[in-house]
Structure 1
Amino acid sequence: MSALEEYTIARYQEDYRAQIIELWAKCGLTRPWNDPDKDIDRKLTDRNGAFFVLLKGREIAGSVMVSYDGHRGSIYYLSVDPDHQSAGLGKMLMEHCETFLLELGCPKINLFVREGNEQVLRFYEKLGFSEETAVALGKRLIPDI
């Protein structure tokens, strides 16, 4: 059995919530202005996307949120526990998301990487992503704090 075969990808279940939030904190994905509980609650209302978890046995080793708006796919909260990184698991999760989106007829994926996160930028570049000449704009409609 290869190392990757020890891992499975499954749909999010509510009993994973605390472990997922802990994973996101461990991976540096949480921010004071985003409540991760609320982000999970919002994701669970998304009828066009999915929330996948990466499991090694019963242990949460990673997660990813994927969505499709009819025009582009989006990836959020891709995370692999630092104790499990560099084994191809992030790539495994992304391939799973790409297959999911292709089955929906999605022609393109967009995602955001925080400025200065060179390690993550290199990861996505290895997967064929490239920087686009667009400016990301945002406006908060509902404050989390």
Structure 2
Amino acid sequence: MSIEAVIREMKDGDAEQVIAVWHGSGVARPWNDPVNDIAFARRNPHSTVLVACLSGQIVATAMVGEDGHRGWVYYVATDPRHQGRGYGQAMMLAAEKWLADRGVWKVQLLVRGDNAAVKQFYEHLGYHDTKSVCFQKVIGSTDT
């Protein structure tokens, strides 16, 4: 990172800033309620939301969790005003460390098919396309 930031797990009062980073960077989707996603990630020790703080402001995020077999990373995002400074890479390294500290040795993430720039970012970090197909079925409401 060109400017030193502190990476830590998010706190209760961070939600508004985290959501602003998600919206500002374009990772938020209208069908995913960010408040529910944050609450779900923080409800047990198997997942969390990591944040990079610079002068008291959250400038980057990564949601990370493990399912007992693999680690997963979501919502890797950097505030557009701070992009290009290495925060995305720092968040991925922090997510990988969080998983490794729990004995997880394999990291998975999903990238939208039309997002070529992000594919290149992850390839630069050593990730590769597994040529897998992701299926989904919504089985219940996420309303709290």
Same fold (TM over 0.5): yes
Are 1:105 and 2:90 an aligned pair?
no
CA RMSD in angstroms comes to 1.5
CA shift for structure 1 position 84: 0.8
1:133 match? 131
The secondary structure found in structure 2 opposite 1:4 is coil
Structure-to-structure mapping, 1:1-145, within 5 angstroms: 3-5=2-4, 7-144=5-142
Gaps of 5+ in 2: none
The runs of 4+ residues in structure 1 deviating greater than 4 Å are none
* Contact residue 2 and residue 86 of structure 2 kept, 8 A: no
Q: TM-score, normalised by structure 1?
A: 0.92
Question: Unaligned stretches of 5+ in structure 1?
Answer: none
| Pairwise CA distance, 1:144 | 4.4
Q: Which amino acid aligns with 2:111?
A: V
Q: TM-score, normalised by structure 2?
A: 0.93
Aligned residues: 143
Q: Per-residue displacement from partner, 1:98-135 (whole Å, max 9, x unpaired)?
A: 11111111110000011211111110000000001211
